[in-house]
């Protein structure tokens, strides 16, 4: 009776672990969808702004999340198969993928956090130079479009203020046609509206576009970091459940 009781107890514990792993896989899929969504959303929403950044860390973090989210879809399916079949080798492969995705998401979260810490300094050093030297220059169409969208989206003019444009290569050229700021600084864009820099005509924002862009990117870096690290922590539970079930399953027959 004692041996039978132990067998029944062992079977009950195994069933509980299987259900826990099924629940985890459901949460894992949802987390993977969130990771993939945040990665794609980050690149789509800020694809124009990426050309204004000196480093590629922001984009790399998003690409890593997209990779991790894609792997989650495959791994979640593998996890269900491993639990149903109760094979040690399947569970081993499942655990390996969980570990790999855990490390990938952790790297994305850490990268986002590190970049968040030096975002302000990077923007101060490079944004004004990028805008003044590259705006409306041959071969710099992506930067020009990014600056125009930046100034319209955030209702700002110049990296720190509208006076920054006085040192711009574009404003100093004949192509500017006596404009003092680009037309994208105007509250209502019309042809050559940038010739007049009165506050009634152009955006005058304290802190300029640097402050607006910094806050915008910082908020999204926090989302990237939180999602990456949050789902990574969830996977720790999955790895623990997988190890427990692995120990309770008999060695695979050959």
- pLDDT score of 6: 42
pTM for the full model?
Answer: 0.71
- pLDDT score of 250: 58
- pLDDT score of 11: 64
Question: For residue 214, what are the CA distances in angstroms to 11, 57, 88, 160?
Answer: 56, 15, 49, 12
- pLDDT score of 184: 94
- pLDDT score of 4: 41
User: Exposure string (b/e) for 103-125, b if CB count within 10 Å is 16 or more?
Assistant: ebbbbbbebbbebbeebeebbee
Strand-pairing partners, residue 186, are 202
Enumerate residue ranges in the chain where pLDDT < 70. 1-14, 46-47, 86, 249-254
């Amino acid at each position: 009776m004692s041996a039978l009781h132990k067998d029944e107890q062992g079977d009950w514990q195994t069933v509980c672990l299987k259900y826990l792993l099924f629940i985890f896989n459901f949460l894992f899929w949802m987390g993977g969808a969130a990771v993939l969504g945040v990665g794609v959303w980050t690149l789509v929403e800020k694809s124009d702004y990426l050309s204004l950044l000196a480093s590629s860390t922001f984009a790399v973090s998003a690409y890593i999340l997209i990779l991790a989210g894609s792997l989650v879809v495959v791994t979640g399916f593998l996890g269900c198969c491993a639990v149903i079949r109760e094979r040690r080798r399947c569970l081993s492969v499942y655990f390996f993928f969980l570990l790999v995705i855990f490390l990938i998401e952790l790297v994305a979260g850490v990268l986002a956090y590190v970049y968040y810490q030096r975002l302000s300094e990077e923007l101060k050093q490079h944004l004004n130079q990028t805008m003044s030297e590259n705006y409306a220059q041959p071969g710099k169409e992506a930067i020009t479009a990014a600056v125009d969208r930046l100034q319209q989206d955030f209702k700002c003019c110049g990296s720190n203020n509208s006076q920054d444009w006085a040192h711009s290569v574009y404003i100093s050229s004949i192509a500017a046609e006596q404009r003092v700021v680009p037309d994208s600084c105007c509250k209502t864009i019309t042809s050559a509206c940038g010739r007049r820099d009165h506050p009634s005509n152009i955006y005058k924002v304290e802190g300029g576009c640097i402050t607006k862009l910094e806050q915008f990117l910082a908020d999204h870096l926090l989302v990237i970091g939180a999602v990456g690290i949050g789902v990574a922590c969830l996977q720790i539970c999955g790895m623990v459940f997988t190890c427990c079930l692995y120990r309770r399953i008999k060695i695979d027959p050959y």
